[in-house]
Amino acid sequence: MDQLKRYDFKKVLEELREKVGRGTELVSVYIPPDKQVSDVTSQLRDEHGQAMNIKSKITRTNVQSILESILAKLRYVTVSENGLVIFCGAIDKGGDKTDIETYIVEPPEKIYSYIYHCNSTFFLEPLEELIEEKEKFGLLVLDKREATIGVLSGKIVEPIKHLTSSVPGKIRKGGQSAPRFQRLREIATEDFYKRIGEHTSQILLLEKDLQGLLIGGPSPTKEDFIKGSYLHYEIQNKILGAFDVAYTDESGLYELVDAAESVLEGMDLMREKKLMGRFMKYIGNNELMVTYGERDVRQKLEMGAVDTLLISEELDADFVHELVNLAELTGAEVEIVSTDFEEGAQLKRAFGGVAALLRYKTH
């Protein structure tokens, strides 16, 4: 799915997510490509007949109107190779008013199950799953004092578990011999590593589509942990690398993702991070190879000076399409930047959601 299609589809889902009805007056119908439309029509006619039994006159009228509207649409719509989804409902407009609204959505990927669903909201989960980032990486940062376990899903770092150890510090208390104290430290460290291994394994074995595990921390702690095979063998076999990071709390997970850039290179997140990194570097050096803000970016696009257009995914859809069309006229690359990571959020927060890397210096 290309970036603009993905962006548009996410906007449709956002709009549908906000629609609310009363009772079970919002209907969602998922039609896979191999389902006969005549079978769907037949079922909806049955539902229309059943609706006669609804006691509330307003609800009965609304449900029958919704089903009639879907039946009318089914007479002329074509089910694509990915299937078709129809959302229709009596949308609450406040003050006891409702409007019947219908949305026809072509899924970006193939749907496999026929679903007829009634509720006070539209049933969007099957479509939301289609745009979920499939690639997931386990993240573990540790030293002898603490460890943090998390998951990188697409562009989102999710911290899951923080552990602290009872490993004594390097300075021994009076009365303990150096060898005995060292032995106590080793036992406590071993116990802590075992605990980290158990928690990490439990968490990551539940993750579907786990591509691998990245481990961060100081040397030689992380290397000792890996050599000790404290993880379940399935997770141990997914270790992709060990990276030096300074922090082992939640901030260490973000540091680990940056440190593992070479491993994560193909991901959208790293591409977006790299572009935003270039943009921020130019801004920091006060170089004239970037611009930002709607007026200046539009001007540079019209001049043909833009190499890469950076647009926040949170901007209005009409505005995004307008800028993308301008970019296409001059062969500029377009990157729709997620706000799920810090630099992407900064594009929206500090630069108005639109910026550009330029082909040459301009004044």
Residue intervals in the chain for CATH 3.30.1330.30: 268-358
Percent of the chain scoring above 90 in pLDDT: 67
Sorting pLDDT into bands at 50, 70 and 90, what band is 176? low
Determine how many CB atoms are found less than 10 A away from the CB of residue 135. Answer: 16
What mean pLDDT comes out for the span 204-215? 92
Fold of 18-131: 3.30.960
pLDDT score of 172 = 55
pLDDT tens per residue, range 295-328: 999 999 999 999 999 999 999 998 999 999 999 9
Q: What is the DSSP string of 149-181?
A: EEEEETTEEEEEEEEE-----SSPPTT--HHHH
Q: Give me the long-range contacts of 256-263 (CB less than 8 A, separation at least 24).
A: 256/139, 256/141, 256/214, 256/215, 256/216, 257/139, 257/152, 257/157, 257/214, 259/216, 260/214, 260/216, 263/212, 263/214
Q: Which amino acid is at 217?
A: G
Question: Model confidence over 67-104: pLDDT tens digits?
Answer: 999 999 999 999 999 999 999 999 988 777 888 999 99
The stretch 117-128 carries a mean pLDDT of 94
Residue 30 reports pLDDT greater than 60: yes
- Would the pLDDT of 333 be above 60? yes
Tens of pLDDT, residues 266-278: 788 888 888 999 9
Q: Which of 2-6, 237-241, 329-333 has the lowest mean pLDDT?
A: 2-6
Better pLDDT: 170 or 135: 135
Domain 268-358 falls under CATH 3.10.20.590:
no
171 pLDDT band (50/70/90 cuts)? low
User: Tell me: the pLDDT tens digits for 224-242?
Assistant: 999 999 999 999 999 999 9
41 band by pLDDT with thresholds 50, 70 and 90: very high
Residue 195 tokens, joined: 């605990």
Ordered alpha helix ranges (H), 304-338:
317-329
Q: Look up residue 51 and give its DSSP letter.
A: G
What pTM was computed for the model?
0.72
CATH architecture of 136-259: 2-Layer Sandwich (3.30)
Residue 174 has pLDDT above 70, yes or no: no
Round to whole Å and give the CA distance between 60 and 54: 5
**Burial (0-12, 13-18, 19+ Cβ within 10 Å), 18:** exposed
pLDDT tens digits, residue range 55-76? Answer: 888 888 999 999 999 999 999 9
CA distances from 23 to 91, 168, 325, 359 (A): 11, 59, 43, 56
> Looking at residue 363, what is its pLDDT?
66
Q: Where in the chain is the domain with CATH 3.30.960.10?
A: 18-131
Match 């386990």 to its residue by tokens. 138
pLDDT band of 165, cuts 50, 70, 90: confident
**Burial (0-12, 13-18, 19+ Cβ within 10 Å), 354:** buried
Distance CA 279, CA 282 (A): 5
Q: State the Cα torsion 319-321-323-329 to the nearest 10°.
A: -160
Report how many helices (DSSP H) and strands (DSSP E) the chain contains, helices first: 12, 13
Judged by average pLDDT, the poorest of 148-152, 198-202, 286-290 is 286-290
The phi-psi region of residue 225 (left if phi > 0; otherwise alpha if psi is between -120 and 50; otherwise beta) is alpha
Q: Where in the chain is the domain with CATH 3.30.420.60?
A: 136-259
Classify burial at 34, counting beta carbons within 10 Å of its beta carbon; exposed 0-12, middle 13-18, buried 19 or more.
exposed
Average of per-residue pLDDT across 48-59: 88
Mean pLDDT of 343-349: 92
Which token pair is 13?
């889902």
pLDDT at 173: 58
